[in-house]
Amino acid sequence: MRTKGNGNDMDLDMNKMQEMLAQAQEMQQAMDLRLSETIVEAATGGGAVSARMNGKKELLSLTIAPSAASAATSDLSLLEDLIVAAVNSAARKADEASKSNAASILGGLGLPGF
């Protein structure tokens, strides 16, 4: 059975939903900005290869030491493995930074798990 209302309750609910949506969008924008400004770096092979990535997992740079480049002439697969390992390690660090940023932004909401 429905209760009669004057319609204002529904208007208030819609306004509250719109406010919550706007707040969520602001939080998403803040998170995106933080992630794009967060820079992580990982090196492999004793610094022979290093990868820089932002929190959005965009590869910003890949540096190969001259000694690693010259050694690659005889064993290209080793250099390839070092590159893959450096990029994967940077991606893991970016994931950790992303989780940390999300926790700091969402922690203020009092949600369980943050």
Per-residue pLDDT of the chain (114 residues; tens, 9 = 90+): 445 555 577 777 888 888 888 888 888 888 888 888 999 999 999 999 999 999 999 999 999 999 998 888 888 999 999 999 999 999 999 999 888 877 777 766 665 655
Chain-centroid distance, C-alpha 39: 10
Distance, in Å, from the CA atom of 32 to the CA atom of 100, rounded to the nearest integer, reads 13
Whether the Cβ atoms of residue 49 and residue 62 lie closer than 8 Å to each other:
yes
For the entire predicted model, the pTM comes to 0.72
Closest CA to 49 of 59, 38, 58: 59
Write down the CATH number for the domain with range 35-106.
3.30.1310.10
Give whole-number Cα distances, 99 to 3, 8, 15, 23, in Å: 44, 40, 31, 20
Q: Residue 95: what pLDDT?
A: 93
CB 29 within 8 A of CB 43: no
